[in-house]
């Protein structure tokens, strides 16, 4: 085994089942220093966020240098507007600076997202998928302690299935731990733990918790923060408390956060990713609440949680669950016909033999011929599947639903930003919900759960996937 002069303390916490806090720092909080390596008796790791406030935020590597050398750090890496080369440069720098803990994220919508155009698809903003980022990091240095995000707070059958399918890919890729996205539905947190146990996954999971004030809740609703569920009931409770007595409202905010932390701990979560609680006065208020509830059992915490949120029906912190929708006959017919064509023209021995002879000719290296081939492929596929000449066609691995029709270009599964099957961009149904629905009806879920689709390098785009396919064969 390779000996390292530096090790991941966070990894040791996970291995020893030591409950811990990952306290999130963002660009605007760089001047705030962690006051202690412990919070309410639990160890603290500084989690350095990546471009949360703006697309031009300082990098986590720069922010990490602002914090004390004596505190363990975890760096976020967001794939938005980045390619595999950007990740490799980040990993090299992180290794040099002795940062082993990294949370891989595909990333929310870039605030200055570019959609590109038909004349030049390369102008479009790309998102490096977390699945591929995990694979790359583990291949670079297996000693990296790599985490992934997961959103269990989904209330449409297809989008929920798609989230769990992608989680399994992330685990297969080598994820060392899982962090849920922000949410307040305790049933969803329990279901995530149950899923891991049922499928015999031992990957530790941490819950994301944010002390939820009225202003924060309203901001997230007004700005449609992707993937975060704030119900009308929650906003009403927070607003009533704030208007009645701001001091009392603040006390309730931190008591709810403390209860959620202890409930997660009772459920077997390995720790907490703590957001919007990096300042000393915020942490002190949380500590007071944690001390108050320290000796409560799980049932006592749950009862008090329901009282503070005024829960009566049990669904006040959830979106209404949508009735399951089946794939249409047209979608099934399209899949079957395209699958047959793929087998005939690309996967059969005859096709591979003939294609290899044809496309290995030097003729295709001539600029005009290559351009004509690219245009022919685009015309034949764009209207049918939404092709954008990625140069590495993945239709056979995505149930013939082109990943280029996802605004982020994600092939391995959804981001966490969908809402009731709707894309984070708001203009379409999430293609990964469509895939999940189709896969369940066709009994093809193993493909979505375990088949990791490689990322498409920038230099491969705008080349012919036909030529690349048969040349590689």
Q: Across residues 353-364, what is the average pLDDT? A: 89
- The string of pLDDT tens digits covering residues 101-141 is 999 999 999 888 988 766 566 788 999 999 999 999 999 99
Classify each residue of 440-471 as buried b or exposed e, where b means 16 or more C-beta atoms within 10 Å of its C-beta. bebeebebbbeebbbbbeeeebbbbbbbbbbe
Selection from 88, 164, 208, 195 nearest residue 458 by Cα? 88
**Whether residue 2 has pLDDT greater than 50:** no
pLDDT band at 53 (very low <50, low <70, confident <90, very high): confident
- Determine which helix (DSSP H) or strand (DSSP E) holds 21, and give its type and residue range: strand 20-25
DSSP of 300-325: HHHHHHHHHTT-SSS-TTSPPPPPP-
CATH of segment(s) 9-308: 3.20.20.220
Lowest mean pLDDT among 43-52, 383-392, 422-431: 383-392
pLDDT band at 3 (very low <50, low <70, confident <90, very high): very low
Q: What is the pTM of this model?
A: 0.94
What is the signed CA dihedral for 43, 46, 52, 58, rounded to 10 degrees?
Answer: 180
Selection from 205, 158, 202, 166 nearest residue 183 by Cα? 205
Question: Residue 173: which residues within 8 A CB-CB, separation 6 or more?
Answer: 131, 132, 134, 135, 138, 452
Selection from 59, 28, 51, 220 nearest residue 125 by Cα? 51
Q: Confirm if 396 and 342 have CB atoms less than 8 A apart.
A: yes
Collapsing DSSP to helix, strand or coil, 103 comes out as strand
- The string of pLDDT tens digits covering residues 185-236 is 999 999 999 999 999 999 999 999 999 999 999 999 999 999 999 999 999 9
Instruction: Compute the mean pLDDT over every residue in the chain, rounded to the nearest whole number.
Output: 93
Q: Across residues 21-35, what is the average pLDDT? A: 73
Cα angle at 289 between 284 and 295, to 5 degrees?
A: 130
- The string of pLDDT tens digits covering residues 249-272 is 999 999 999 999 999 999 999 999
Binning the chain into helix, strand and coil, the percentages to the nearest 5 are 50, 10, 40
pLDDT band at 1 (very low <50, low <70, confident <90, very high): very low
User: Quick one: pLDDT at residue 219?
Assistant: 96
Q: Which long-range contacts (C-beta less than 8 Å, at least 24 apart) are formed by 367-370? A: 370/463, 370/464, 370/467
Q: Across residues 456-462, what is the average pLDDT? A: 90
Whats the size of the chain, residue-wise? Answer: 473
Domain boundaries in the chain?
A: 9-308, 339-472
Question: Residue 278: which residues within 8 A CB-CB, separation 6 or more?
Answer: 23, 24, 25, 29, 32, 34
> Do the strands 145-150 and 73-78 form a parallel or antiparallel pair, or are they unpaired?
unpaired
Q: Which residue is it, tokens 């280029």?
A: 404
User: Quick one: pLDDT at residue 119?
Assistant: 59
User: Quick one: pLDDT at residue 33?
Assistant: 59
Please compute, for residue 338, the number of CA atoms within 13 A of its CA located in the half-sphere on the CB side.
19
DSSP of 355-398: HHHHHTSGGGGSHHHHHHHHHHHHHHHHHHH-----SS--GGGT
What share of the chain has pLDDT > 70, as a percent?
96
Question: Residue 231: which residues within 8 A CB-CB, separation 6 or more?
Answer: 316, 317, 318, 319
pLDDT band at 360 (very low <50, low <70, confident <90, very high): confident
Instruction: Count Cβ atoms below 10 Å from residue 284 Cβ, excluding itself.
Output: 12
What is the signed CA dihedral for 411, 413, 418, 422, rounded to 10 degrees?
Answer: 60
Q: Give 272's strand partners.
A: 21, 207
Q: How distant, in Å, are the alpha carbons of 13, 17, 36, 72, 243 from that of 8?
A: 9, 14, 18, 8, 45
pLDDT band at 179 (very low <50, low <70, confident <90, very high): very high
């Amino acid at each position: 085994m390779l000996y390292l002069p530096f090790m991941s303390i966070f990894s040791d916490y996970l291995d020893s089942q030591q409950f811990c806090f990952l306290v999130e720092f963002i660009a605007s909080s760089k001047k705030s220093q962690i006051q202690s390596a412990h919070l309410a008796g639990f160890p603290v790791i500084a989690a350095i966020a990546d471009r949360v406030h703006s697309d031009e935020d300082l990098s986590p590597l720069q922010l990490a240098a602002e914090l004390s050398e004596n505190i363990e750090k975890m760096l976020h890496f967001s794939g938005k507007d980045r390619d595999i080369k950007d990740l490799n440069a980040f990993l090299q720098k992180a290794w040099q600076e002795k940062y082993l803990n990294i949370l891989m994220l595909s990333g929310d919508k870039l605030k200055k997202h570019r959609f590109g155009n038909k004349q030049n698809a390369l102008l479009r903003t790309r998102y490096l998928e977390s699945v591929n980022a995990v694979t790359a990091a583990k291949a670079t240095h297996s000693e990296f302690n790599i985490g992934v995000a997961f959103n269990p707070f989904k209330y449409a059958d297809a989008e929920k299935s798609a989230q769990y399918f992608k989680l399994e890919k992330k685990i297969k890729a080598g994820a060392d731990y899982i962090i849920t996205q922000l949410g307040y539905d305790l049933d969803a947190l329990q279901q995530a733990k149950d899923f891991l146990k049922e499928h015999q996954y031992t990957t530790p999971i941490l819950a994301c918790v944010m002390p939820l004030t009225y202003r924060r809740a309203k901001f997230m609703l007004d700005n449609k923060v992707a993937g975060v569920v704030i119900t009308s009931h929650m906003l009403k409770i927070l607003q009533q408390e704030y208007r009645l007595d701001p001091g009392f409202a603040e006390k309730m905010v931190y008591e709810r956060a403390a209860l959620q932390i202890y409930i997660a701990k009772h459920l077997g979560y390995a720790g907490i990713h703590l957001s919007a609680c990096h300042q000393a006065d915020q942490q002190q208020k949380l500590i007071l609440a944690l001390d108050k509830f320290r000796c409560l059992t799980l049932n006592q915490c749950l009862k008090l949680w329901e009282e503070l949120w005024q829960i009566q029906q049990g669904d006040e912190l959830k979106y209404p669950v949508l009735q399951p929708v089946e794939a249409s006959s047209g979608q099934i017919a399209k899949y079957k016909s395209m699958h047959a064509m793929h087998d005939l023209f690309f996967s059969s021995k005859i096709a591979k033999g003939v294609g290899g002879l044809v496309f290995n000719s030097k003729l295709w290296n001539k600029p005009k011929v290559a351009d004509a081939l690219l245009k022919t492929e685009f015309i034949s596929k764009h209207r049918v599947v939404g092709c954008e000449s990625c140069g590495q066609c993945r239709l056979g691995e995505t149930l013939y639903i082109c990943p280029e029709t996802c605004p982020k270009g994600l092939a391995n599964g959804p981001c966490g930003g969908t809402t009731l099957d709707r894309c984070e961009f708001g203009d379409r149904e999430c293609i990964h919900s469509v895939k999940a629905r189709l896969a369940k009806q066709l009994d093809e879920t193993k493909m979505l759960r375990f088949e990791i689709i490689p990322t498409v390098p920038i230099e491969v785009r705008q080349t012919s996937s036909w030529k690349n396919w048969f040349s590689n064969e």
